[in-house]
Amino acid sequence: MQNPTSPPPPPPPSSSSFSSTFFNLRDPKPKPTLILLYTFLFLSLLSLTLILYLSHSTIHTHSGPDPFLHPTHAHRLVFDPHKPSPPPPPSVAYLISGSRGDAARILRLLDAVYHPLNVYLLHLDASAPHTERELVAVTVQSNPIFKAAQNVHVVGKPDFSYPKGSSPVSLRLHAASVLLRLSRDWDWFVSLSADAYPLVTQDDLLHILSFLPKDLNFVNHSSYIGWKEARKLKPIIVDPGLYLSEGTEMFYATQKRELPSAYRVFTGSSFSILSRRFMEFCILGEDNLPRILLMYFANTPSSLSNYFPTVLCNSRQFNRTVINKNLLYAVQDSQRNDLRPLNSTDFDDMIQSGAIFGEKFQKDDDPVLDLIDRNLLGRSPRSVVPGGWCLGEPGNNTCLTWGDAKILRPGAGSQRLEKAIVELLANGIFRSRQCIYE
Ligand SMILES: *[C@@H]1O[C@H](CO)[C@@H](O)[C@H](O)[C@H]1NC(C)=O
Ligand SMILES: *[C@@H]1O[C@H](CO)[C@@H](O)[C@H](O)[C@H]1NC(C)=O
Ligand SMILES: *[C@@H]1O[C@H](CO)[C@@H](O)[C@H](O)[C@H]1NC(C)=O
Ligand SMILES: *[C@@H]1O[C@H](CO)[C@@H](O)[C@H](O)[C@H]1NC(C)=O
């Protein structure tokens, strides 16, 4: 345990450390002003890193983040050698993506899933005006906590993302490759849409994940293709997000095609928790399977819910790493082919489910979100969720006394999640539901 009355570490540096980075990956020729800006950003980051390096040369953090968020053991005041230390906490890479009008929801969701050990990439798709993207970037940049940890980034040059087509797969692969380059440290990739919200704190989540093998993938999947599924898989479509600069309708070919026989198609749902090793497998592509399936699914509707389950279950390396549950609480609307919005009536079921996230919530000021903040996350309005990394009260977007980011303070949420995961893994039952050919 740390002694909370200890002299607090100095506040995080607030000089020129930019917490958010604008990515312009598809722009081949940046304009001269941009080059200047980048040079300035690069130099200021470099000088900051140098200053940090010179003044704390014993601390091995790679470029940037405030060392007081990741202190070495020497900073621990009371160290009990008899108490077995828990496994080191893992880190999660989050893509948070939304569309026109989602800026407020994205920022609230970011606060609710924030932890200094994680890394975040925010994306507002091409249908949102640039001013909205700038608002998100400026808000992130002016938050002292994000600035200190330097782990929140905003995509400056957006992609289109149509829910039905293949552009959402392209967005996730793009984001995962950016996140792989941004940080060597994350263990799982989670893509949240703006209408999702957490049901446990990050301290709860990281605590439970720290006991699990890092190669597990949490993915709903089924190889059962009835007429309903076949009707969704056989049409041939072309996603306008891949070739038109204006948003339009999906292009449907008049003919349909047979289901593949070279591999088995698995259907699933669009949310999943994927391991870093699996994301590298999909992106680096030494094995051609992920690329072949990407090209096949490029012309099928709902490719996002089918792509990752199909790659996982058809690869020898990964078919035994899949858990057939994505730990997302969602309710299908039987009338429409979509999720039903959740409200406070669903609250008890959400808690009972032991899920990590819930989807979908309708507005950024939905009363059920306030209920979750109050009862599950301990989050006060407009601030991040408290955790072991912040010993003082987090208020006004600052943390009065920084702690060690690696010390987690799991609460009741970790017990719910532990129960759900123990049930999933008990007696190896999960094997009987793993990539089964039906
Ligand atoms: C995984 O792939 C191997 C090799 O193809 C196969 O023997 C095994 O049955 C597969 N496991 C599952 C759960 O599909
Ligand atoms: C995912 O699978 C679980 C059971 O394994 C089910 O309860 C849940 O509804 C599924 N979620 C979706 C979005 O299909
Ligand atoms: C929540 O949604 C359900 C189903 O749409 C509805 O029956 C119920 O009245 C709603 N509850 C509240 C508190 O709005
Ligand atoms: C937040 O700021 C307001 C106004 O600047 C101030 O009154 C309040 O005490 C601050 N709260 C905290 C927790 O620092």
Ligand nearest to the CA of 358: 2
Separation of alpha carbons 120 and 243, rounded Å: 28
Ligand 2 centre to CA of 61 (Å) is 39
| DSSP code at position 190 | E
Ligand 4 centre to CA of 229 (Å) is 54
Q: How many Å separate Cα 393 from the centre of its chain?
A: 25
Ligand nearest to the CA of 345: 3
Separation of alpha carbons 161 and 99, rounded Å: 8
73 to each of 59, 70, 85, 348, how far by Cα in Å? 10, 9, 12, 41
| DSSP code at position 24 | -
- Both tokens assigned to 44: 């200021």
Do residues 133 and 158 touch, judged by C-beta distance below 8 A? yes
Dihedral of alpha carbons 68, 71, 76, 80, sign: positive
Ligand 2 centre to CA of 220 (Å) is 6
Of 145, 205, 200, the C-alpha closest to 390 is 145
The residues pairing with 189 across neighbouring beta strands, listed in sequence order, are 93, 274
Ligand nearest to the CA of 424: 2
Ligand 3 centre to CA of 370 (Å) is 16
Residues with CB under 6 A from ligand 4: 393, 395-396
Contacts 24+ apart (CB under 8 A), 392-400: 392/8, 394/145, 397/143, 397/144, 397/145, 398/144, 398/145, 399/145, 400/8
Ligand 2 pocket check for 326: Cβ under 6 Å: yes
Ligand 2 pocket check for 207: Cβ under 6 Å: no
Query: Rounded to two decimals, what is the model's pTM?
Result: 0.82
Ligand 3 pocket check for 415: Cβ under 6 Å: no
Ligand 2 pocket check for 330: Cβ under 6 Å: yes
State the DSSP string of 261-299: SSS---EE-S--EEEHHHHHHHHH-SSSHHHHHHHHHTT
Ligand 1 centre to CA of 341 (Å) is 38
Ligand 1 centre to CA of 316 (Å) is 6
Ligand 3 centre to CA of 343 (Å) is 6
Ligand nearest to the CA of 316: 1
Query: What is the residue-level pLDDT of the chain in tens, covering all 438 positions?
Result: 334 333 334 333 333 333 333 433 333 343 443 443 444 444 444 333 333 332 232 223 334 556 556 544 334 444 455 666 778 999 999 999 999 999 999 999 999 999 999 999 999 999 999 999 999 999 999 998 999 899 999 999 888 888 788 899 999 999 999 999 999 999 999 999 999 999 999 999 999 999 999 999 999 999 999 988 888 899 998 888 888 877 778 888 888 888 999 999 999 999 999 999 999 999 998 999 999 999 999 999 889 999 999 999 999 999 999 999 999 999 999 888 889 999 999 999 999 999 999 999 998 889 999 999 999 999 988 889 989 988 766 566 677 778 888 999 999 999 999 999 999 988 788 889 999 988
Q: What contacts 256, CB < 8 A, 6 or more positions away? A: 234, 235, 236
Ligand 3 pocket check for 344: Cβ under 6 Å: yes
Ligand 1 pocket check for 434: Cβ under 6 Å: yes
Report phi then psi at 175, rounded to 5. Answer: -65, -45
Separation of alpha carbons 117 and 89, rounded Å: 8
Nearest protein CA to atom 3 of ligand 1, as residue: 316
User: Torsion-angle region of residue 233: left (phi > 0), alpha (psi -120 to 50) or beta?
Assistant: alpha
